[in-house]
Homo-oligomer: A and B are copies of this chain.
Amino acid sequence: MNKDYENGIDILKQMTDVNGEQNIKSLGKIFPDFEEKMIAFGFGQIYSRPNLDLKTREVVTITSLITQGAFEQLDFHIKAALKAGLKSEEILEIILQCAAYIGFPKACSALAIAGEIFQ
């Protein structure tokens, strides 16, 4: 597990900046085991896997967040997507395609969040 956690921290550093890393780690102040599992499993065991590059993984994550209406996590992952090499036009395009698959309301909420980041 320790290795998964270290692995997860490495991936996290690739995905985000110091602020993003601190945000994730701050969950550990509330519940250390939660932060540990999230980093070891989510980042260490899943994001690190082959067959999908980080860029495509962020396509999956952004789409899933918008579809489930988990907008609080969207800022982190839109920034991570840009860092992984997705262009802002591609992220906007994901949001537009989501409109056809989950309807315009959630797509509008996502677009507003993207708009604040892209400014």
Contacts and interface: CB of A to CB of B under 8 A. Distances in A.
Give the number of copies in the complex: 6
Given A46-B100, A65-B101, 17 more contacts: A30-B112, A31-B92, A33-B49, A34-B95, A34-B96, A34-B107, A37-B41, A46-B99, A49-B93, A68-B68, A68-B105, A70-B106, A72-B105, A72-B109, A98-B103, A100-B104, A103-B103
Please classify the interface of chain A as helix (H, G, I), strand (E, B), loop, or mixed, using the class held by over half of its residues: helix
Contacts of A38: 99, 104, 108
Contacts of A95: 31, 34
A115 to B, nearest CB: 4
Interface residues of A, number: 59
